[in-house]
Chains A and B, each alone.
Chain A
């Protein structure tokens, strides 16, 4: 791929704006709340776009196009089933407790509702997960720059990390959030022309459908059995594993995304943040998944384009989107497309680093290392945590370079940590009998259950390390991931209930504002019916159901 000075000038303008936003916001960072929580002053449209943009990182943009090429339109399940219902649940049912409790983070909600050990468990596992995720994002970005532009690994790592460090260090969470919004528009406007010209080349949706195997253009039709579809999962596993456990575990409890709603100006806007975000989220498959399907059709129809291959002769699905950009984009637009990819990596990395610095400062440092200190001290700690987060990310990127299974480890971490956590929150928010001991041991049991399931089963050569012969062989790694999540959630749910029933709950007075039955949910202040949370929820769920039906 050859870039010209025009493409580089677009890179340059983008970096200038990203750094400029950080520099401009520096003067506003006067307290730890400003730096780590944006002073809870961010308008609704910004929190909504930041909410989906924090998730619009490398795995989303590159990964979903890769999945589109590998599995077809079934990949859209990660949106219409694996995101929208959970975002609605967060906005309608859970946000009143997150926001109403005035907790500064998800782990802090756990200490208010349960106890210190439950908070510590979640804070430490979340901090580890964000650092691994940020490092893997940096590694993937550097490999991309190395492959596409011939930049050395070191230059790519330090340049990307340096830019993210500067704007998050100067402007804190607000800078990350503002840049996420800029990055959101850039990703959409940078990749949408590829979809347009790609669809045009294959004869629009009808032509695309005719050129692909039927399994690739239907979302549910071939889900009766795991053997019938390229994803290797059946409809029950998809609905329970992705649609319930993993989806709700991620969107409703992962501080990286929940944080974007918690910095809204008031409760009403906090509730509407995930609901408004659900509208663009619903349409994202047409931008990030469709290029993968188009790439497969172009490979089969004699257009001259071929899916990229690895050195060992296997298809390199992760390079599908970059190879499509190289194939179709002229100089100029190529710069925009590549800048959009850069933006997605940076957005993911900055999101992780800003979530890490909040959890480190509020839930680890202030909770266990130095409890009483002036606010200026915590501001300084938050800034230092930003620097340390970037340094750890760089170290993780180098580790990822040496061990090719770190990406698998990251996927496992998500399943091990997020899946049981949703059971903890579900019980904690909606059953006042749940105790701190129940929550803690439920989480430990859920995580152990996830590790045991992974160790006893195998798929695509992964897992099964506990026994010489695995007790079950899944058709695909994805099916295994869903299975691990289901076992993990169920174990946590049952163990939490069992231990809660034999331990003493907190007095009701200490749980007001934290548990549904003890909290008066504030009346919705939004008077326009079409912006009411319930209206938004119904419309977005209806839209999502309609898309599932159309592409059944």
Chain B
């Protein structure tokens, strides 16, 4: 398998947001309460950010561009 995708900006962005999403999810599980206005902010934001990161990683790995 070619690892050329690691030079794809989408991979870099995906990796960054996947890590940030995981940090937020970890904080929701282990940290102080994140309940604001009835919403678990770290959980919801962490999930969204993590999913966005994975989406960008998938694009970079499975849909390579000429760049």
Contact = CB atoms under 8 A, between A and B. Distances in A.
B13 A182 contact: yes
A442 B7 CA distance: 47
Nearest to B42: A332
A41 B66 CA distance: 10
B21 to A, nearest CB: 9
Given A6-B27, A336-B49, A14 B34 contact: no
A185 B37 contact: no
B37 A197 contact: yes
| Residue from the set B32, B38, B41 with the largest chain A CB neighbour count within 10 Å | B41
Nearest to B56: A185
A467 to B, nearest CB: 54
B61 interface: no
B44 A193 contact: yes
Contacts of A193: 41, 44-45
Given A21-B12, A182-B13, A189 B23 contact: no
| Residue from the set B12, B31, B32, B45 with the largest chain A CB neighbour count within 10 Å | B45
Interface string A316-349: 0000000000001111110110000000000000
Nearest to A18: B16
A13 B66 CA distance: 28
Interface residues of B, number: 32
Given A24-B7, A189-B48, A332 B31 contact: yes
Nearest to B40: A330
Interface string B6-45: 0101001101110110011001100111101111011011
Interface residues of A, number: 32
A215 to B, nearest CB: 27
Nearest to B15: A17
| Residue from the set B16, B46, B48, B65 with the largest chain A CB neighbour count within 10 Å | B16
B59 to A, nearest CB: 10
A547 interface: no
Nearest to B28: A332
Contacts of A387: none
Contacts of A251: none
A200 B37 contact: yes
Contacts of A181: 9, 13
Give the secondary structure class of A's interface: helix
A182 B41 contact: no
A10 B48 CA distance: 16
A333 B39 contact: no
Given A6-B27, A6-B31, A329 B41 contact: yes
Given A41-B67, A331-B27, A13 B36 contact: no
Interface of A: 4, 6, 9-10, 13-14, 17, 20-21, 24, 41-43, 46, 178, 181-182, 185, 189, 193, 196-197, 200-201, 328-333, 335-336
Given A189-B45, A330-B32, 20 more contacts: A6-B23, A10-B20, A17-B16, A24-B7, A43-B65, A189-B52, A193-B45, A196-B39, A197-B41, A200-B39, A201-B37, A328-B36, A330-B27, A330-B36, A331-B27, A331-B31, A332-B24, A332-B27, A332-B46, A333-B24
Interface of B: 7, 9, 12-13, 15-17, 19-20, 23-24, 27-28, 31-34, 36-39, 41-42, 44-46, 48-49, 52, 65-67
- Closest 3 A-B residue pairs measured CB to CB? A332-B27, A330-B34, A332-B42
18 contacts: A4-B31, A10-B20, A10-B23, A41-B67, A43-B65, A46-B9, A185-B13, A185-B52, A197-B36, A201-B37, A330-B32, A330-B36, A330-B42, A331-B32, A331-B34, A332-B24, A333-B24, A333-B34
